[in-house]
Structure 1
Amino acid sequence: AAYKAPATEMEELLAAIWQDVLGIPDIGISDNFFTLGGDSIKGIQMASRLNQHGLKLEMKDLFQHPTIEELVSYVERTEGKEADQGPVEGESMLTPIQRWFFDRKFTNQHHWNQSVMLHAPKGFDPIAVEKTLQALTEHHDALRMVYREEQGDVIQYNRGLNEASVDMKVFKLNGPAIDNEEKIELEADHLQSSIVLETGNLLKAGLFQAEDGDHLLLAVHHLAVDGVSWRILLEDFAAVYTQLKQGNKPVLPQKTHSFAEYAERLKEFANTKAFLKETDYWRQLEENTIQTPLPKDRQSSDQRMKHTRTVQFSLTAEETEKLTTKVHEAYHTEMNDILLTALGLAMKNWTGQDQVSVHLEGHGREEILEDISISRTVGWFTSMYPMVLNMKHADDLAYQLKQMKEDIRHVPNKGVGYGILRYLTAPEHKTELEFSIQPEISFNYLGQFNEMADSGLFTRSSMPSGQSLSPETEKPNALDIVGYIENGTLTMTLAYHSLEFHERTIQAFSDSFKTHLLKVMEHCLAQDGTVLTPSDLGDDDLTLDELDKLMEIF
């Protein structure tokens, strides 16, 4: 939009936050958050920054009013809603995704991490790194969790500050890192496998000091982190490390509500009348889903992660920029609308089926609980739910894309309720549900990762970070598809079971996925103007065909 400068204090604050989160200068009050490259995860980051100013914004308002001039009247003060700033200690309930994890009884469940390897060309100060990690462990309560089994149940316990410590090893390497790659990988593997759930710590660090800069491995058990948590941790790491190097006492933004409080409130919410209305949607999905197995090249009873292989494709920086901005103007789409349409088209080509079920993963931080904010809370909040990609209109790309968008919008609360129903709702409230849909494919778009480059202190290291998951643990899905944007480039990674699929099979599917993605993008960019769909009008009952007929009349 034509630049329209902020005129009030609130507009100036919102513009400054948008510029920070989106990495774009001179944002005007009539610019659209989503056509500038924003998404739901960027929205959470924006809410986190507002929270630091004592302000609150609900994500539904951002989606409905995506310009500053529309949004400014929906920003509220958070008086009386502040989270307890003290340390959390004691027993904490498990969230649905944590219950899923323990129900699966994975082999070597202690070794089930998420990790990142950072590179600082000018090196890290080991003492400052250790003090930084100590501050993060004290501030982010989930990093102090331990897990004990009592009478067949898993107990999640938050240790107090007196038990907050840092496990960090320093390795002095001779010569540049590239000449020590084998040693780095060996030590990283050892560190990744050293977490013990009963005793902690869930965070392990390894600092590799080389002639050409230092490499810092941070490994955290998945029970304590997710994709949004890493954004928080990396941002806080950069802030505290910088403060310490400047000789200042570490100061972090105010906490949002704790993981323990969120889990407790979620259990209460799981049996409310308002929430249980979701049951009908999931029951109908089960009744109408025909599950067809993937066309595997061969069968195998050995499902260990050690047999996982990956293929991937990337878009160019120019294509990625279009995908995050201009592509969405045609149909008011979001990233998953585009990616899942392309995925569905590729799946139809591969399987010959009009209907494909997938496990969708989302950040899970939907605003379903009143007066609870978790925009700066570290923990595992991921939602996992089945969705059926209905590709009956594949020959009409415009209609198929609009249908996919509407199908996604009709998922209640972006799918977070499925896990709540399955693991938290009382049995008498879900007698009509069997939770029978078992997709063999999982899909997760993680959003954009700019935090490391933004800090100026470090970037992602090219050195091996070790195996985040035990090679002996079971692979949850036959095919895992993960997308993310880093350094301005979209990458889609497809992890498959090599005893079930030939590499050429998955490579052909990957090529088809990319081809269809570019075709969908090309179609959207060729449209003149914007086409509305029923969800844009807030009408859940109106169908696409009915809206098209109405538009013909007018």
Structure 2
Amino acid sequence: VVPTATGTSPDEILLTALALALAEWRRGRRRGAPGAGPVLLDVEGHGRGDDDGAELSRTVGWFTTMHPLRLDPGVRWHEVRGGAPAAGEALRRVSGQIRAVPAKGAGYGLLRHLNPRTADLLAGGAGPQIGFNYLGRVRTDHSAGAADWGAAPEDVRIAPTDPELPFAHSLEANAVTHDRPSGPELTVTWTWPGGLFDETEVESLTDLWFEALDALTRYSTAHAAPADGAPRSLTTSDLSLADLDQDEIDELEADLADLEDLT
């Protein structure tokens, strides 16, 4: 529902909701901390479908990528609850920030570790404490009624963490959507060092994340572009040739709407 109505991808929706949830979770854990503001994540990808011109037709497997990503929804938690219009603003902002990353961050590892002109500079930046990986949507239908030809059913599982392996982040989320006969089912696996958080704390973050996803779903149903083909709101990534931020784009769209009303 949300991708179709808003023109966004599943990972953009998940990351918008996660950014909102993390800001509110941070406020709850640290009394007096702001309930909004940017969050810093390490985002992992599979390295395919980045439209970078690489010829991958004779390859198998994933080309794992990881890059830091700073996300700022620009709204507070109470403004998005229940699917208020601010939820759409948060989604537009975050999707624009994600799409602004060249090649989905595929070149970050080269700049961080192999390029002598940039390695030291990037090494001096803040290290994300949260890791996020969306494995995508996989088909799980093994029934005899499935098509004779098509993508093979997949059984994607999050491998358990080796207890001897150091943690790369204080908290990591691995998400995957299983396309089951009853409908798509989102599964999230959290990992963290036992000395940093207890299960109740992580459950509270998960609850906030799914509450934010519910708000985005409600927004897309009530306020997003209707099914009759009306245009959706633009983001900064839609206007790559114009040096405009999201506030300026929103203002121009509002002015255009006023002109259309007058005519």
Q: Which category describes the TM-score, using the shorter chain as reference length? A: 0.7 to 0.9
Rate the CA distance shift 1:380–1:337 in 2: closer, same or farther, 3 A.
closer
In structure 2, the residue matched to 1:344 is 19
Unaligned runs of 5+ in 2: 28-33, 80-85, 226-231, 257-263
Q: Out of 460, 470, 473, which is 2:165 matched to?
A: 473
Are residues 1:439 and 2:128 paired?
A: yes
In structure 2, the residue matched to 1:428 is 117
In structure 2, the residue matched to 1:361 is 44
Q: Normalising by structure 2, what TM-score?
A: 0.74
CA contact (8 A) 1:330 1:527 kept: no
CA contact (8 A) 2:73 2:91 kept: no
Aligned residues, how many?
223
Q: Normalising by structure 1, what TM-score?
A: 0.37
Deviation at 1:417, TM superposition (A): 1.6
Q: Out of 67, 84, 93, which is 1:403 matched to?
A: 93
Unaligned runs of 5+ in 1: 1-325
Work out the CA distance in 2 between the residues paired with 1:466 and 1:340. 19
Are residues 1:510 and 2:185 paired?
A: no
Rate the CA distance shift 1:455–1:393 in 2: closer, same or farther, 3 A.
same
Render the CA deviation track for 1:441-478: whole Å, top value 9, x for unaligned: 100111111167369998759xxx99754322222222
Deviation at 1:518, TM superposition (A): 0.8
Rate the CA distance shift 1:327–1:348 in 2: closer, same or farther, 3 A.
same
Work out the CA distance in 1 between the residues paired with 2:92 and 2:166. 37
Q: Out of 139, 145, 157, which is 1:450 matched to?
A: 139
Work out the CA distance in 1 between the residues paired with 2:169 and 2:89. 30
Superposed CA RMSD in Å reads 2.8
Secondary structure at the residue paired with 1:445?
Answer: strand
Secondary structure at the residue paired with 2:192?
Answer: strand
Rate the CA distance shift 1:505–1:522 in 2: closer, same or farther, 3 A.
same
Q: Out of 98, 102, 109, which is 1:412 matched to?
A: 102
CA contact (8 A) 1:422 1:435 kept: no
- Return the index of the structure with the highest Cα Rg: 1
Work out the CA distance in 2 between the residues paired with 1:377 and 1:400. 37
User: More relative contact order in 1 or in 2 (CA 8 Å, sep 6+)?
Assistant: 2
1:312-391 equivalences in 2 (<5 Å): 326-352=1-27, 353=34, 354-365=37-48, 366-368=50-52, 370=53, 372-391=54-73
Secondary structure at the residue paired with 2:110?
Answer: helix
Letter in 2 for 1:534: T
Secondary structure at the residue paired with 1:516?
Answer: helix
Secondary structure at the residue paired with 1:504?
Answer: helix
Letter in 1 for 2:75: H
Rate the CA distance shift 1:437–1:525 in 2: closer, same or farther, 3 A.
same
Work out the CA distance in 2 between the residues paired with 1:374 and 1:347. 36
Work out the CA distance in 2 between the residues paired with 1:475 and 1:335. 26
Are residues 1:550 and 2:252 paired?
A: yes
Deviation at 1:548, TM superposition (A): 2.4
Identity of counterpart residues, as a percentage? 33
Rate the CA distance shift 1:451–1:424 in 2: closer, same or farther, 3 A.
farther
In structure 2, the residue matched to 1:541 is 243
Deviation at 1:439, TM superposition (A): 1.0
CA contact (8 A) 1:332 1:532 kept: no
Deviation at 1:516, TM superposition (A): 1.1
In structure 1, the residue matched to 2:259 is none
